[in-house]
Amino acid sequence: MLNIQGLMKQAQMMQKKMQEAQEKLAHTEVSGSSANGLLTVTLNGKSEMKKISIDKSLASDDVEMLEDLIMVAYNNAHSQVEALAEANMKEATGGVNLGGLKLPF
């Protein structure tokens, strides 16, 4: 027979580790760039944009190009947030797959 108390304790510990991983991720910042680093977007672990840096050489009349560069930089940073979230989840759960549960939140 399984030790229910032991399983409950393990589940509580895993839940605590997952919460700690979420908090750690929320305070993490990652940057994505495009145009060889002339445009940089910084996101926090919740994929909220915290900063954008655009080199003056990109400020021109070609608004569509600038919009595309911003999207590329954002998507680059967002991919990094996703990878960090996955790594943090794997660490918090000891590699146990929780069926696609995603961080953060």
d(CA 85, CA 93): 12
Give the pTM. 0.66
Could you tell me which residue, 93 or 40, shows the higher pLDDT?
A: 40
Q: What is the pLDDT of residue 52?
A: 94
Model confidence band, residue 105 (pLDDT cutoffs 50, 70, 90): very low
Please give the structure tokens belonging to residue 23. Answer: 């908090």
DSSP 8-class letter at 36 = T
Q: Which residue has the tokens 């759960």?
A: 93
d(CA 52, CA 105): 24
Model confidence band, residue 103 (pLDDT cutoffs 50, 70, 90): very low
Span 31-60, pLDDT tens digits:
999 999 999 999 998 888 999 999 998 887
